[in-house]
């Protein structure tokens, strides 16, 4: 029968797309090595080398191309900041081996509200990471194939869909799938940098041939404010550094050691590539353009337009930028599940799907990222101002929390332990130096956050400054709801549960048929107090129903409501509300609704969804239950 084959067909399609269902016991085996971990958790940070230099130059060009001389000193300063943040997060990884990053560190050391601020900042950052990295990846495609420029937003949304599907297959499979593109990017970029330096030192490095450079308005003077704007734009290179600390549980044992080494690898590679690209961009006279990236300009100087190595560079860059979104797909569901488990987000986000991934978290991330891509037309420079505030806010809270942790540890004696919310605090003989490192890191990232907020405020940073407090308010309201619900449902002072003195059953009917009789049979099994209710729209049909009821009604009361204005649901709701208003204490009403279940999904559109309408209409009434009695059709 069609009804018996439909579900296996859907299950087969699901198994084809995301793989067979995994057992809960398989979770321990869904871990990844350091090499795969670099692809899964570091692709976001590594990919930022493809647009961080562009963002610095987009600001400096406001003062003319002569201001490009400041690009390398700015990049060196950012690399120093990266080293500070890396050292700080390396300490976090070993102090919190179960992961959680800024959210867990803040909740453990700073309190509930700072933790929710960190959570809001990180979740916002993860959504923006997907939008920015994929938009930037599509920009590499349109640099090589300008005819696709007008389609960039829809190409980016399609990429998000592919990423979503791959991540629904599980962490282990998605990591293996993304390892090859990540290492291809590292190989081709490192080769390009090496070949570029070779040409530079041999005097064979050319310059970019620009047919026409679009004017940038009235030139500004080189001021401290302009330098700070360029610095804050380039700090997007640090986005994704915290991802490894959030995803420690995904690593193979020893988890903390492997995660810490991966973090050091990532930061070292990122610094080398970022500084090298910024240096080469200056040497080839690259200029920031919306229609062509700095990577593309360096590539066509070194290799020539259309050459295989040029296309390989852009292809590898495009792949890593798209793969960078996987960092968010790995961390957003984990963080949202943590917050949901603590009662600050909907509990559904803790659900693990058939492949042991947080399915709802992945889908929510994909939906919001796609919305941003469409709204901002996949323009990276338009999304960047929204990007880094959340990152540096989470950096600041995480490092501040770690500094507080080391300060608290000074009171413990050797061998003494103190259990926190998410970790056990031990005495640490090096607490002073560790506190200084984390405190200095928190100060640096706080200053950068303020600089970014001030310099990018008018460009769109104000949106994030508003969104994060709104998200925190929403989280706290959700938490309040769950706490109130727990109080309402508590059995601590409940006493003896009251028994219902009367149980009325109402069966709305639209005719007398097999579906009606099945619903009546169920209703009489629930209670002897059953009333069938019919809304009469036509006298002839009403008389036919009365005659059929005498034969098939089996003695059940029939109440007919006359609907003079041809309304159907409203009179039925009014009748149920009247009955509910006349109830004595401890009386229960159940509405039993016959429902047709067709063999084809679209046949549902041909039937009134009475049960759903009644549920919505009676939602505010206490002690009224809506029950559907399905009647499965046997033919198409």
Task: Express each pLDDT in 43-64 by its tens digit.
Answer: 778 888 888 898 899 888 888 8
Q: CA 140, CA 312: separation in Å to the nearest integer?
A: 11
pLDDT at 25: 45
The pLDDT of 112-130, averaged and rounded, is 90
Q: Pick the closest to residue 529 from 587, 574, 578, 573 (CA basis).
A: 587
The pLDDT of 76-80, averaged and rounded, is 93
pLDDT band, residue 356 (cuts 50/70/90): low
pLDDT at 520: 93
Residue 8 has pLDDT above 60, yes or no: no
Q: Compute φ and ψ for 32, nearest 5 degrees.
A: -130, 155
Residue 375 tokens read as 């709204």
Residues 237-269 as b/e (b if ≥16 CB within 10 A, e otherwise) read bbbbbbbbbbbbbbbeeebbebbbbbbebbbeb
Q: CA 287, CA 209: separation in Å to the nearest integer?
A: 10
CB-hemisphere CA count at 13 Å for 244? 38
Strands 502-509 and 557-562: unpaired
Q: Are residues 80 and 224 in the same domain?
A: yes
Single out the residue in 387, 414, 430 at which a domain terminates: 387
Q: What is the CATH classification number for the domain harbouring 562?
A: 3.40.50.620
Residue 137 has pLDDT above 50, yes or no: yes
Q: What is the pLDDT of residues 485-494, one digit of tens each?
A: 888 777 777 6
Whether residue 447 is contained in a domain is answered as: no
The pLDDT of 289-315, averaged and rounded, is 87
CB-hemisphere CA count at 13 Å for 286? 31
Residues whose CB falls within 8 Å of the CB of residue 511, separated by 6 or more in sequence, listed in order: 545, 548
Helices 52-60, 224-234: axis angle to 10 degrees equals 160
Reduce the DSSP state of residue 208 to 3 states and report it: coil
Give the predicted TM-score (pTM) of the model. Answer: 0.74
Q: What is the CATH classification number for the domain harbouring 342?
A: 1.20.1740.10
- Percent pLDDT > 90 in the chain is 23
Single out the residue in 356, 387, 418 at which a domain terminates: 387
| 165 or 527, higher pLDDT | 527
Q: Contact, 313 vs 188, CB < 8 A?
A: yes
Q: Are residues 379 and 523 in the same domain?
A: no
Average pLDDT of the chain to the nearest whole number: 82
DSSP one-letter code for 100 = -
Q: Pick the closest to residue 52 from 167, 133, 147 (CA basis).
A: 133
The pLDDT of 502-524, averaged and rounded, is 90
Q: Are residues 137 and 265 in the same domain?
A: yes
CA distances, 141 to each of 162, 190, 313 (Å) = 16, 20, 11
Whether residue 113 is contained in a domain is answered as: no
- SS3 readout for 222-290: CCHHHHHHHHHHHHHHHCCCCHHHHCHHHECCCHHHHHHHHHHHHHHHHHHHHHHHHHHHHHCCCCCCC
Whether residue 4 is contained in a domain is answered as: no
Lowest-confidence pick of 12-16, 153-157, 407-411, 494-498: 12-16
Residue 55 Cα to chain centre, angstroms: 25
Whether residue 412 is contained in a domain is answered as: no
pLDDT at 12: 57
Residue 576 tokens read as 């149920």
pLDDT at 598: 76
Q: Are residues 127 and 254 in the same domain?
A: yes
Reduce the DSSP state of residue 456 to 3 states and report it: coil
pLDDT at 211: 54
Q: CA 280, CA 270: separation in Å to the nearest integer?
A: 15
Q: Contact, 361 vs 337, CB < 8 A?
A: yes
Residue 258: give the domain boundaries. Answer: 27-101+122-209+217-387
Whether residue 106 is contained in a domain is answered as: no
Whether residue 241 is contained in a domain is answered as: yes
| 375 or 276, higher pLDDT | 276
Q: Contact, 51 vs 317, CB < 8 A?
A: no
Angle at 371 between CA 456 and CA 46, to 5 degrees: 60
Q: Contact, 78 vs 45, CB < 8 A?
A: no
CA distances, 476 to each of 114, 121, 341, 357 (Å) = 12, 15, 14, 26
Whether residue 126 is contained in a domain is answered as: yes
Residue 240 has pLDDT above 60, yes or no: yes
Q: How many domains does the chain have?
A: 2
Q: How many CB atoms lie under 10 A from the CB of residue 223?
A: 10
Whether residue 443 is contained in a domain is answered as: no
Single out the residue in 321, 356, 387 at which a domain terminates: 387
């Amino acid at each position: 029968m069609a009804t018996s084959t439909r579900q296996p067909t859907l299950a087969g399609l699901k198994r084809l797309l995301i793989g067979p269902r995994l057992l809960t016991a398989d979770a321990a085996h869904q871990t990844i090595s350091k090499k795969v971990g670099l692809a899964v958790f570091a692709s976001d940070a590594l990919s930022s080398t493809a647009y961080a230099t562009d963002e610095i130059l987009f600001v400096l060009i406001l003062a003319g191309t002569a201001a490009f001389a400041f690009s390398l000193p700015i990049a060196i300063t950012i690399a120093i900041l990266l080293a500070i943040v890396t050292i700080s997060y390396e300490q976090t990884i070993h102090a919190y081996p179960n992961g959680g990053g800024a959210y867990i560190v803040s909740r453990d050391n700073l309190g509930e509200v700072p933790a929710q601020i960190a959570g809001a900042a990180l979740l916002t950052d993860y959504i923006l990471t997907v939008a920015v990295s994929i938009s930037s990846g599509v920009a590499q495609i349109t640099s090589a194939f300008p005819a696709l420029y007008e389609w960039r937003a829809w190409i980016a949304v399609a990429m998000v869909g592919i990423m979503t599907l791959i991540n629904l297959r599980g962490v282990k499979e998605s990591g293996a799938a993304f390892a090859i593109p990540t290492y291809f990017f590292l190989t081709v970029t490192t080769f390009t940098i090496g070949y570029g330096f070779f040409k530079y030192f041999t005097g064979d490095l050319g310059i970019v041939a620009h047919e026409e450079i679009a004017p940038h308005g009235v030139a500004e003077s080189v001021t401290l404010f302009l330098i700070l704007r360029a610095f804050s734009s380039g700090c997007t290179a640090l986005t994704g550094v915290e991802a490894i600390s959030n995803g420690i549980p995904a690593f193979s044992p020893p988890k903390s050691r492997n995660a810490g080494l991966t973090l050091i690898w990532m930061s070292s590679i990122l610094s080398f590539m970022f500084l090298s690209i910024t240096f080469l961009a200056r040497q080839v006279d690259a200029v920031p353009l919306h229609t062509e990236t700095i990577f593309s300009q360096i590539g066509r100087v070194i290799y020539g337009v259309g050459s295989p190595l040029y296309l390989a560079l852009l292809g590898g860059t495009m792949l890593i930028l798209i793969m960078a979104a996987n960092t968010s797909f790995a961390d957003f569901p984990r963080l949202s599940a943590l917050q949901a488990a603590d009662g600050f987000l909907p509990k559904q986000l803790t659900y693990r799907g058939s492949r042991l991934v947080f399915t709802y978290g992945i889908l929510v991330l994909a939906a919001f990222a796609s919305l941003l891509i469409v709204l901002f037309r996949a323009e990276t420079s338009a999304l960047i101002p929204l990007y880094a505030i959340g990152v540096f806010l989470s950096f600041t809270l995480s490092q501040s929390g770690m500094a507080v942790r080391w300060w608290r540890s000074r009171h413990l004696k050797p061998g003494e332990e103190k259990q926190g919310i998410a970790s056990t605090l031990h005495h640490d003989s090096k607490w002073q130096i560790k506190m200084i490192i984390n405190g200095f890191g928190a100060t640096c990232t706080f200053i950068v956050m303020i600089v970014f907020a001030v310099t990018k405020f008018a460009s769109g940073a104000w949106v994030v400054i508003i969104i994060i407090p709104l998200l925190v308010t929403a989280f706290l309201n959700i938490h309040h709801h769950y706490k109130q619900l727990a109080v309402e449902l508590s059995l601590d002072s409940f006493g003896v549960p009251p028994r219902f003195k009367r149980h009325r059953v109402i069966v709305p009917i639209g005719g007398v048929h097999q579906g009606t009789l099945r619903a009546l049979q169920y209703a009489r099994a629930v209670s002897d107090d059953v009333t069938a209710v019919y809304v009469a729209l036509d006298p002839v049909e009403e008389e036919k129903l009365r005659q059929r009821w005498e034969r098939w009604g089996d003695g059940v009361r029939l109440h007919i409501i006359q609907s003079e204005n041809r309304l159907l649901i409203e009179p039925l709701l009014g009748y149920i509300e009247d009955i509910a208003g006349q109830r004595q204490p401890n009386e229960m009403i159940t509405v039993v609704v016959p429902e047709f279940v067709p063999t084809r999904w679209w046949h549902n559109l041909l039937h009134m969804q009475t049960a759903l309408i009644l549920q919505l209409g009676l939602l505010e009434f206490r002690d009224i239950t809506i029950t559907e009695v399905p009647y499965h059709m046997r033919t198409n």
